[in-house]
């Protein structure tokens, strides 16, 4: 993820599927509204924290 000096950002994700197919998703925006599943808004820092927690839990699951 990259954030510009005026608040614009770019998020690029690489996704590898079970069948070894690989896709890239790139999201660029000057403004973004993110809502949780209960329709409550979260800011970019909270969104980033949720992603970090998700991947930490995913990594811990694979080690068991």
Contact 25, 17 (CB under 8 A): no
Kindly list the domain boundaries of the chain, sorted by start residue: 1-32, 34-64
- Percent of the chain with pLDDT strictly greater than 70: 95
Asked whether residue 62 carries a pLDDT value surpassing 70, the answer given is no
- Residue closest to 15 by CA, chosen among 25, 7, 1, 6: 25
- Comparing 44 with 52, the larger pLDDT belongs to 52
């Amino acid at each position: 993820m990259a954030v510009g000096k005026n608040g614009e950002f770019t998020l690029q994700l690489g996704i590898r599927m079970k069948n070894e197919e690989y896709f890239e998703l790139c999201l660029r925006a000057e403004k973004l509204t993110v809502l949780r599943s209960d329709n409550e808004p979260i800011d970019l820092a909270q969104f980033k924290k949720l992603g970090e927690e998700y991947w930490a839990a995913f990594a811990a699951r694979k080690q068991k």
